[in-house]
Amino acid sequence: MRVLVVGAGRMGAIRVEDLVSNSRVSDVLITNRSAARAEDLAQQWGATALPWEEATTVQADAVVVAVGTDAHDHILSGVLPQGIPVLCEKPIALTLADTAAAIDLAERSGSALFIGFQRRFDADIRGIYDTVQSGQLGTFYSMTMASRDHQPSEKDFIAGSGGIFRDLHVHDFDLVRWITGSEIATVFATTQVREFQDYADAGDADMSAISLTTANGVQVVITGARHDARGHDVRMEAFGSKDSVSAGLNERTPLRTLGAELGVGSTPYTGFVDRFREAFRAETTAFVSFAAGEIDNPTPPDSALESLRVAIACEESVRTKRAITVSEIT
């Protein structure tokens, strides 16, 4: 299989590393707006660098889109008409209209969009999904979730990220929909800037809190932060009538416990790549299997569209200081 990776930044490098180690991938091609970065990454992993101008014309069996969101439209409009599988890092776009347009183009072209929601491939989070699906949890009462970056983002990234709901919490919204098997019906959200003025300058926030309810009645509370002094922290708990389970609570959780020794916090995660490195690898492997026609799409594009809709509903909730019915967001 011949796979093109568009983008040689942090995410592109992760995908290239995992693709070259996959025995089913014969050739890995890399292109990037900075030719030097593509050349360096290709040399590091024994791949082939291509000029940026060939990003939408080169012949490949599958494509990974790992560039900034601002370049997604240009790349997707070129590769989707080829009718080949495409792994697109989230988000597809920052608006519902642009996201829907990309999905429509994929459907009309016979292409398949696989969305980069790597948290679905985390072993413990998958364990919560499996517990719910098996019925072991009983009646699904509620979930609590936390998403906390270790260090605040660079100013340039903040300006183009889409904000804390579209960039950070879109992962949480995807997991809620996936694990509960239900759409998110209502949201109430608040934000604050507590420490880092760069977020305020961009109209964004460094802290967030969300209360939501799914259409099938599961209540969910999510908190977010752009800075955690101890490390990168993503964890969740699911509570039901028969059982309760957690994910992300282990010896690397950046948490200091008081009153009881739980064995957590000894070697905290340093960032999202460290926290989800194995999940990224599993996701890339799944994409190769999907591109080969062996499995159904585990992260279809509606996951990106509907999670973005929830993010926009949260922004509307912050603006109006009221609960928002998600289906009203069009």
Residue 258 has pLDDT above 90, yes or no: no
pLDDT band at 41 (very low <50, low <70, confident <90, very high): very high
**Spatial distance between the Cα atoms of 229 and 227, rounded to a whole number of angstroms:** 6
- Evaluate whether residue 291 is within a structural domain: no
- Evaluate whether residue 279 is within a structural domain: no
Same domain, 254 and 321: yes
- Evaluate whether residue 282 is within a structural domain: no
pLDDT average, residue stretch 13-27: 97
Same domain, 252 and 168: yes
Same domain, 169 and 56: no
Range of the domain at 42: 2-116
Which domain CATH number covers 87?
Answer: 3.40.50.720
pLDDT at site 161: 86
Q: What is the pLDDT of residues 153-202, one digit of tens each?
A: 999 888 888 999 999 999 999 999 999 999 999 999 999 999 999 999 99
Same domain, 129 and 106: no
Which domain CATH number covers 157?
Answer: 3.30.360.10
Domain end point (choices 116, 149, 167): 116
Q: What is the pLDDT of residues 78-96, one digit of tens each?
A: 999 999 999 999 999 999 9
pLDDT average, residue stretch 299-315: 97
- Whether the upstream peptide bond of residue 91 has omega within 30° of 0, thus cis, is yes
Same domain, 18 and 44: yes
CB 178 within 8 Å of CB 129: yes
The number of folded domains in the chain is: 2
Same domain, 260 and 127: yes
pLDDT at site 259: 73
Same domain, 252 and 311: yes
Same domain, 86 and 210: no
Domain end point (choices 100, 116, 132): 116
Domain end point (choices 84, 116, 148): 116
pLDDT average, residue stretch 308-322: 98
With a threshold of 0.85, does the pTM exceed it? yes
pLDDT at site 261: 67
